[in-house]
């Protein structure tokens, strides 16, 4: 065989695995369906700004090994995600914290805020009368109460999932962290940032000196490609590998409307969520704030924004978020039974495992898979 590994897909899973295998002396070939590497972390430079073409990506983790691995390859900046919610023109800080409670009710101390939330939750808890919440609406009302649910959760969640909150499963928001401190950092992780110069720098360095064939769909050339390597790491959609023979796994997807604006600073923040049902998009991303901080924002007279419209996935669109409901989970198990019978194929990553992996867990999973291979 010409190669030890044929790696299908050059997203973070494929690129990290290829890097580890290559550095252990293995011969790797990466095939990528798209015209570029990087999968969904790919960036495109527009007006001198790194635009996250497939949606905003913020690396965050508690895993020191992953953080050091990434930073050893491409150093990360100090970006801290602190999204703002816009509900009917009024702004609220996220995640729900003392700033939010002050904006919502004018309360100024943690004790006042706790009392207010208890008061807000009490009606929902009384209605539940000891039973488990049957849907997302009941769950959210019991956790945070009416005002936060109605202004900051209901519209956003309904737009994101395309379903009413009382038809969505409660498990989507089992946890809705409430912080009784003035802290707008969206993540609790110890490490957070974005590779300086964008994600392409990370991916290019991971794939340095490794043969990559772009615009090559593995499934279209499977017979020929299968003869080239001892083992395959497949990171494409699981159902596609089996030619959808048991049916399609469902996804949610996002449509992006990206514009260049002749202003240095459009919204003053990277992420503004629009939590009102009547605004058709879920959020606006202003990409320069991921990489320029403070006065440097004004160095570039232009800015780039993307409006995000969440929608149901249909064949031909990019599959983004697995829909982990009962129907899709049952279908997944059937496909996994087929996958277990495939010899010398490892199914890994967001699409092949039909699992919502963030970037750090994707890298961690690639590391685990590689140590298993090496053992």
In this structure, the number of other CB atoms found within 10 A of the CB of residue 122 comes to 13
Active site residue 129: no
Q: Which of 357, 273, 279, 325 is nearest to 135 (CA)?
A: 325
How many angstroms separate the first and last alpha carbons of the chain?
21
Q: Which of 42, 70, 147 is nearest to 104 (CA)?
A: 147
State the nearest-atom distance from the C-beta of 254 to ligand FAD, in Å. Answer: 5
- Element housing 5 (H / E): strand 3-8
156 binds, among ligand FAD, ligand UDP, none (CB under 5 to 8 A by kind): ligand UDP
How many Å apart are CA 259 and CA 120, to the nearest integer? Answer: 40
Q: How many helices (H) and strands (E) does the chain have?
A: 12, 16
Active site residue 277: no
Residue matched to tokens 């050339």: 221
Catalytic residue of the set 121, 179, 350, 365 = 179
Tokens of 177: 């962290």
Among 57, 154, 288, 289, binds ligand FAD (CB under 6 A): 57
Catalytic residue of the set 45, 174, 356, 374 = 356
Catalytic residue of the set 308, 335, 350, 353 = 308
How many Å apart are CA 339 and CA 251, to the nearest integer? Answer: 20
| Sheet containing strand 90-93, strands side by side | 90-93, 84-87, 271-274, 283-286, 303-312, 251-261, 321-322
Kindly state whether residue 273 participates in binding ligand UDP, applying the rule CB under 6 A.
Answer: yes
Pairing of the two strands 229-234 and 3-8: parallel
Kindly state whether residue 153 participates in binding ligand UDP, applying the rule CB under 6 A.
Answer: yes
Kindly state whether residue 157 participates in binding ligand UDP, applying the rule CB under 6 A.
Answer: yes
Kindly state whether residue 313 participates in binding ligand UDP, applying the rule CB under 6 A.
Answer: no
Phi, psi of 100 (to 5 degrees): -65, -45
* Candidates 154-162, 188-196, 245-253, 287-295; binding stretch for ligand UDP (CB under 6 A): 154-162
* Candidates 7-15, 182-190, 298-306, 327-335; binding stretch for ligand FAD (CB under 6 A): 7-15
Catalytic residue of the set 4, 205, 252, 318 = 252
Within 221-250, the residues that bind ligand UDP by CB under 6 A are none
How many Å apart are CA 272 and CA 307, to the nearest integer? Answer: 10
160 binds, among ligand FAD, ligand UDP, none (CB under 5 to 8 A by kind): ligand UDP
Active site residue 131: no
Active site residue 358: yes
Kindly state whether residue 53 participates in binding ligand UDP, applying the rule CB under 6 A.
Answer: no
In this structure, the number of other CB atoms found within 10 A of the CB of residue 36 comes to 15
Kindly state whether residue 80 participates in binding ligand FAD, applying the rule CB under 6 A.
Answer: no
Do 54 and 63 form a contact (C-beta atoms < 8 A)?
Answer: no
* Candidates 35-43, 123-131, 149-157, 267-275; binding stretch for ligand FAD (CB under 6 A): 35-43
State the nearest-atom distance from the C-beta of 110 to ligand UDP, in Å. Answer: 22
Do 119 and 306 form a contact (C-beta atoms < 8 A)?
Answer: no
Active site residue 255: no
31 binds, among ligand FAD, ligand UDP, none (CB under 5 to 8 A by kind): ligand FAD
Q: Which residues contact 2 (CB under 8 A, 6 or more apart)?
A: 27, 29, 228, 229
* Candidates 28-36, 157-165, 289-297, 324-332; binding stretch for ligand FAD (CB under 6 A): 28-36
Do 200 and 43 form a contact (C-beta atoms < 8 A)?
Answer: yes
State the nearest-atom distance from the C-beta of 94 to ligand UDP, in Å. Answer: 6
Kindly state whether residue 10 participates in binding ligand FAD, applying the rule CB under 6 A.
Answer: yes
Catalytic residue of the set 151, 283, 350, 365 = 283
Residue number, 298 or 356, with CB nearest to ligand FAD: 356
Kindly state whether residue 358 participates in binding ligand FAD, applying the rule CB under 6 A.
Answer: yes
Pairing of the two strands 251-261 and 321-322: antiparallel
Q: Is the peptide bond before 95 cis (omega within 30 degrees of 0)?
A: yes
Which residues belong to the active site? 175, 179, 252, 283, 308, 356, 358
Report the interface residues with ligand UDP, using CB under 6 A. Answer: 85, 94, 152-153, 156-157, 160, 172-173, 273, 275
Binding-site ranges for ligand FAD (CB under 6 A): 8-14, 31-34, 39-41, 54-59, 217-219, 235-236, 254, 320, 349-351, 357-360, 362
């Amino acid at each position: 065989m010409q190669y030890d590994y044929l790696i299908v897909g050059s997203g973070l899973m494929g690129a990290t695995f290829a890097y580890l295998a290559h550095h252990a002396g293995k011969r790797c070939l990466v095939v990528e369906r798209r015209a570029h590497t990087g999968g969904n972390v790919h960036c495109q430079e527009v007006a001198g700004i790194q635009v996250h073409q497939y949606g905003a990506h913020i690396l965050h983790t508690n895993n020191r090994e992953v953080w050091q691995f990434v930073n050893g390859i491409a150093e990360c900046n100090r970006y801290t995600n602190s999204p703002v919610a816009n509900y009917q023109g009024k702004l609220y800080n996220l995640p729900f914290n003392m700033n939010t409670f002050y904006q919502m009710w004018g309360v100024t101390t943690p004790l006042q805020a706790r009392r207010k939330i208890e008061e807000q939750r009490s009606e929902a808890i009384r209605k539940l009368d000891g039973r488990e919440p049957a849907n997302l609406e009941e769950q959210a009302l019991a956790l945070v109460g009416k005002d936060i649910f109605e202004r900051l959760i209901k519209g956003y969640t309904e737009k994101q999932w395309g379903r009413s909150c009382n038809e969505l499963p409660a498990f989507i928001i089992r946890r809705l962290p409430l912080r009784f401190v003035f802290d707008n950092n969206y993540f609790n992780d110890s490490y957070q940032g974005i590779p300086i110069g964008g994600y392409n720098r990370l991916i290019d360095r991971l794939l340095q000196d490794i043969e990559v064939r772009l615009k090559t769909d593995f499934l279209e050339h499977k017979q020929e490609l299968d003869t080239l390597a001892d083992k395959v790491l497949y990171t494409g959609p699981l159902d596609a590998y089996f030619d959808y023979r048991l049916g399609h796994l469902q996804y949610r997807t996002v449509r992006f409307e990206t514009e260049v604006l002749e202003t240095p600073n459009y919204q003053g923040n990277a992420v503004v969520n629009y939590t009102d049902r009547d605004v058709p998009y879920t959020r606006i991303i202003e990409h320069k704030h991921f990489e320029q901080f403070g006065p440097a924002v004004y160095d570039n007279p232009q800015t780039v924004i993307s409006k995000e419209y969440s929608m149901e996935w249909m064949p031909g669109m990019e599959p983004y978020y697995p829909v982990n409901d009962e129907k899709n989970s049952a279908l997944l198990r059937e496909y996994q039974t087929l996958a277990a019978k495939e010899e010398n194929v490892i199914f890994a990553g967001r699409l092949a495992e039909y699992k919502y992996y963030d970037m750090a867990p994707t890298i961690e999973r690639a590391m685990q898979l590689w140590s298993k291979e090496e053992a």
